[in-house]
Structure 1
Amino acid sequence: MAYIMLRPLFHRGEFDDSLPTFPGSTPGNTQFFPTTAHHPHLAMDRAMVGIPPVKPGDYVFWHCDLVHGVDELHPGILDSSVSYSACNPLTPYNVKSLLATRPAFEAGDVPEDFARSHGTYEREFQHGEDCGARRENILSEGGLRALGLARLDEDEEGLSPGQREVRRLANEKLGL
């Protein structure tokens, strides 16, 4: 964040404060899409660490506020994509999303918001090998709850009346 705020002070003759744009950013995509040309101070060629090879179903965790990137060249023959699964507050919109995500997970398919944005691409069930998208691979009660496969605890100690009610409503919508 500090770099984003200070970036205009690293004058290279490209920043014009009369414009609503920022060097190297694409409005509507992100307001910080660093490139070595526009952001040499980040030394991205030395600062970013590569991720070892992954297979379908593998998980890679990173913090979304850090600079990260995807290889520019994808030599594979199938879709290469990143799906961001955020930690969300329990809201009516997120419960609705969970109602669509749960059957997609159970079918080894992509959630509707991903399919809607990206069309029909590779699906986990198309892999001959185990993609990992199976209920028995979820090893904790918290993981089951996150996918809408287990009840949310309406009686958890310390919950406010509103939190209890929203959990009750979510369990009802999820049929749990």
Structure 2
Amino acid sequence: MLRPFFKPTQRGSLNNWKFSLDDDDGNVFLHGANPGTMQEHNPENHPHLMLQETMIPYPTVEPGDTVFWSADTIHGTERENTGAEDACVFYIPSVPLTLSNMQYVSQQRDAFLKGLPPPDFPGGAGESHFLDRAKVRDVQSEAGKVAMGLRPLTVTAANAGQSDLAKQANNLLGYI
């Protein structure tokens, strides 16, 4: 939490940090955190986390294996797939119904339809050029279609406030 207020006087060292309310340009920022991307934790910017000693690697995974972790902890995957098989990571959040979350779902849906990474991941072509990438037809369940913004929410709320929120969410998704 205090990382934005400390500046290394020697890169990559646990020692020789000084308290600083800003960088050379007068800005306070959290190193490795850039809007619209994940936060990068690396030994250079965060040596105090001792990532080489504190990160717990998961065992070798084979095609079809699944690994779960909490998004509330520092976690990661290799920067580059050096294996012989394609690899991918799915981030499957569970979120309450709010207008800001539905705005994200709308952007995520649009990216999915184009085969692009979701809005909070680094850009690139994603799977847009893959011939056999996931398509709407692959989302089989109605709950999955609603969660991906591919179907409108059913307005069966217990009160007027919930009903109004569902209608606003459907409007954000372009269904009203």
Q: Same fold, TM exceeding 0.5?
A: yes
Alpha-carbon spacing, 1:16–1:80, altered in 2? closer, same or farther (3 Å): farther
Residue 35 of structure 1: how far off its partner (Å)? 2.8
Residue 165 of structure 1: how far off its partner (Å)? 0.3
Residue 156 of structure 1: how far off its partner (Å)? 3.6
1:164 aligns with 2:163: yes
Structure 1 spans left out of the alignment, 5+ residues: 5-11
Partner of 2:142: 141
Alpha-carbon spacing, 1:80–1:137, altered in 2? closer, same or farther (3 Å): closer
Residue 89 of structure 1: how far off its partner (Å)? 4.1
Matched-pair contact (CA < 8 Å) for 2:155–2:167: yes
Secondary structure of 1:163's aligned partner: helix
How do 1:51-66 and structure 2 match up within 5 A?
52-53=60-61, 61-66=68-73
Aligned counterparts of 2:103 and 2:138: Cα–Cα separation in 1:
24
Alpha-carbon spacing, 1:165–1:26, altered in 2? closer, same or farther (3 Å): same
How do 1:40-51 and structure 2 match up within 5 A?
44-45=52-53, 47-50=55-58
Residue 71 of structure 1: how far off its partner (Å)? 1.8
Partner of 1:175: 175
Of 62, 69, 88, 2:76 maps to: 69
Matched-pair contact (CA < 8 Å) for 2:32–2:40: no
Aligned counterparts of 2:48 and 2:89: Cα–Cα separation in 1:
24
How do 1:98-137 and structure 2 match up within 5 A?
98-107=105-114, 109-110=115-116, 113=119, 118-119=123-124, 121-123=125-127, 125-128=129-132, 131=133, 133-137=134-138
Alpha-carbon spacing, 1:50–1:98, altered in 2? closer, same or farther (3 Å): same
Of 20, 35, 45, 2:43 maps to: 35
Partner of 1:16: 18
Which AA in structure 2 matches 1:152? L
Residue 88 of structure 1: how far off its partner (Å)? 3.9
Residue 16 of structure 1: how far off its partner (Å)? 2.5
Structure with higher helix content: 1
Structure 2 spans left out of the alignment, 5+ residues: 4-13, 24-29
CA displacement 1:48-71 (0-9 Å, x = unmatched): 12364466x987542222121222
Matched-pair contact (CA < 8 Å) for 2:117–2:126: no
Secondary structure of 1:126's aligned partner: coil
Instruction: Please give the TM-score of this superposition, normalised by the length of structure 2.
Output: 0.56
